[in-house]
């Protein structure tokens, strides 16, 4: 894909098997949530900045396969913005950590990168937990975005997606798959689409493109866990979830 790079490694099933699952902590009858939810709008309001290119820059993903690290950086900005903090990682810092973890420019595995983020922190954000969510379960994806501010995800990217991105037209899943790509999903809409932060911008992904996602991860920031009433109201056992997630995180 000329000008815009990929770099997500294949999913490691063993990582999914050992992770806690979001589905184990939600009630059988899911809570009622809005049909659409715009975390980006809340970020803009929280920090008084609404320029997407300023908040979510390209971070070298036109020359490096650092898309997974870019998604981490974008998540950092979203989580901070939802808490009223402006935190936009510098491109040099994104590239430096990427090359350190990848051993040059060799791409990254999403799950392993999240493990590093939780254990060591990065860009002024140190999440407290992660959990796996089935990318085929739209109801759970919506609920998780609503609860946690967004999702780290991986998608099998087609040759049409770059053209779609550059023209501002939604991803529709068309084209030939060229490789894995790390992205961050901050918002969802009533038509079954999600917003995708990638390549220094934001693009809409339709359900036919969401079907190409091969992994999704919840990343839990400390600020998110500071409001236990929100989780209780949704029937979510946040205390048990956090204890189980941290017990697993301590092993890696």
| Per-residue pLDDT tens over the stretch 40-53 | 999 999 999 999 99
Contacts of 249 (CB under 8 A, 6+ apart): 115, 118, 119, 129, 130
In whole angstroms, give the CA distance from residue 52 to residue 55: 5
In whole angstroms, give the CA distance from residue 229 to residue 233: 6
* C-beta neighbour count of 251 within 10 angstroms: 7
Q: What is the pLDDT of residues 91-128, one digit of tens each?
A: 999 999 999 999 999 999 999 999 999 999 999 999 99
Q: Assign domain 13-249 one CATH number from 3.90.70.10, 3.40.50.300, 3.40.50.80, 3.40.190.10.
A: 3.90.70.10
Q: What is the pLDDT of residues 74-84, one digit of tens each?
A: 999 999 999 99
Q: Given this model, what pLDDT does residue 2 score? A: 56
123-to-90, 120, 152 alpha-carbon distances in Å:
8, 10, 16
In whole angstroms, give the CA distance from residue 217 to residue 224: 15
* C-beta neighbour count of 91 within 10 angstroms: 16
Residues in the chain: 252
Q: Given this model, what pLDDT does residue 1 score? A: 45
Q: Given this model, what pLDDT does residue 173 score? A: 94
Three-class SS of 53-76: HHHCCCCCCCCCCCHHHHHHHHHH
Instruction: Count Cα neighbours of 130 within 13 Å in the Cβ-side half-sphere.
Output: 27
Alpha helices in 121-233 (DSSP H): 138-148, 160-167, 207-210, 228-233
**Is the CB of residue 112 less than 8 Å from the CB of residue 184?**
no
Under-50 pLDDT residues of the chain? 1
Q: Given this model, what pLDDT does residue 239 score? A: 87
In whole angstroms, give the CA distance from residue 202 to residue 242: 30
């Amino acid at each position: 894909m000329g000008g815009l790079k990929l770099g997500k490694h294949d999913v490691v099933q063993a990582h999914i098997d050992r992770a806690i699952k979001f589905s184990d902590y939600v009630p059988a009858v899911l809570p009622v949530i809005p049909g659409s939810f715009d975390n980006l709008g809340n970020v803009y309001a929280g920090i008084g900045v609404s320029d997407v290119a300023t908040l979510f820059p390209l971070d070298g993903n036109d020359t490096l396969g650092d898309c997974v690290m870019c998604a981490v950086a974008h998540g950092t900005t979203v989580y901070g913005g939802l808490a009223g903090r402006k935190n936009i990682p510098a491109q040099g810092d994104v590239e430096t950590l990427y090359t350190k973890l990848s051993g040059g420019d060799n791409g990254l595995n999403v799950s392993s990168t999240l493990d590093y983020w939780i254990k060591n922190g990065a860009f002024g954000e140190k999440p407290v937990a992660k959990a796996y969510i089935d990318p085929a379960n739209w109801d759970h994806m919506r609920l998780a975005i609503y609860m946690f501010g967004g999702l780290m995800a991986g998608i099998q990217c087609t040759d049409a997606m770059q053209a779609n991105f550059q023209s501002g037209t939604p991803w529709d899943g068309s084209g030939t798959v060229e490789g894995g790509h790390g992205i961050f999903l901050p918002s969802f809409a009533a038509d079954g689409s999600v917003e995708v932060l990638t390549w220094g911008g934001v693009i809409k992904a339709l359900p036919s493109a969401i079907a190409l996602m091969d992994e999704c991860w919840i990343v839990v920031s400390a600020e998110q866990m500071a409001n236990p009433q929100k989780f209780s109201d949704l029937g979510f056992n946040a205390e048990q979830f956090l204890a189980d997630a941290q017990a697993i995180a301590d092993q890696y």
